[in-house]
Structure 1
Amino acid sequence: MDCKIPGFQYVSGERGSVSAGTWTTHAWLERDGLVVDITADQFSDECRSVIVETNSLLHSSFRDIQRMKSNYFEWTGDFTAVSRVYALVKNDIGEAWKAW
């Protein structure tokens, strides 16, 4: 949108086991195999805060993947935190997309 990069999908999945106490869900954005995740560091097996890459090992560990259209400008929730994060990463996303 802002970076003239339409077509991203909101992707979510789960991993782990409820009985083992390791079950978790996660969500990120994808377009044509490019993963954009701004909250990756919440997992102990990932040290990076932001991931912008294809073939992400972290994201391939999730199952029961759900995909839906994503559009920042159509969201109706509280924009305070989202706007702050969006401003921080939009340049990185644009540069990664150009290089890809």
Structure 2
Amino acid sequence: MNKDIQKDIYRIREILAGFEKSDFHSMTSFHFSSGFPAGCCGDATDLLGLYLLKYHGLDSVYVCGSGLGDNSNQTHAWLVCQGYIIDITADQFNDDGYDLPSVIIDKQSLFHELFDETTSRPISIEYLKGTGIPSVLTKVLSVMQKRESAL
């Protein structure tokens, strides 16, 4: 995966982590979670997929896994793009005894293999149209642009 795109993924994670709940669209999990990244994996995955599609022309797949370890109800979402697993919220599981980085971009991930079942869907602009995700992405991009112009 292109190094500039990888840098952007890290920037997006950093920006999301710096937002307050009130900065997020009220129709997103970001707004209702106990604090990013906890409970934000689905919307963060959609946001990242939308970014890669709109600004880099990269198709990706939203993957949702269920059944982590002894917790059959535990779910988690991540992106697969160009054969890479991309996850910007895995570290929310560190409170459960895992030692995961804030951003995972890798061809293989032992953590993601722990989920019993997975379902997937392609990322699509049309699918995300009626959600708060595009507005959160606009805010993230605005912060990215301000930071770049300040350099």
Report how many aligned residue pairs link the two structures: 84
Gaps of 5+ in 2: 1-52, 142-151
Query: What is the alpha-carbon root mean square deviation over aligned residues?
Result: 2.8
Inter-CA distance 86–37: structure 2 relative to 1 (3 Å threshold): farther
2:65 maps to which of 10, 13, 22? 13
Spell out, residue by residue over 1:5-56, the C-alpha distance to the aligned partner (whole angstroms, 9 max, x if none). 1x211101111334xxx74100011134310111111112133111111111
Quote the residue 1:61 is aligned against. 114
Structure 2: distance between partners of 1:85 and 1:57:
33
Higher relative strand content: 1
Give the structure-1-normalised TM-score: 0.67
Inter-CA distance 39–82: structure 2 relative to 1 (3 Å threshold): farther
Which amino acid is 2:106 matched to? E
Gaps of 5+ in 1: 88-100
Is 1:48 equivalent to 2:101 in the alignment?
yes
What's the offset of the Cα at 1:79? 2.8
Q: Which has the higher contact order (CA 8 A, sep 6+)?
A: 1
What's the offset of the Cα at 1:81? 7.2
Inter-CA distance 86–67: structure 2 relative to 1 (3 Å threshold): farther
Which amino acid is 1:24 matched to? Q
Is 1:25 equivalent to 2:25 in the alignment?
no
Question: What SS does the aligned partner of 2:112 have?
Answer: helix
Structure 1: distance between partners of 2:135 and 2:61:
20
Higher relative helix content: 2
Give the structure-2-normalised TM-score: 0.47
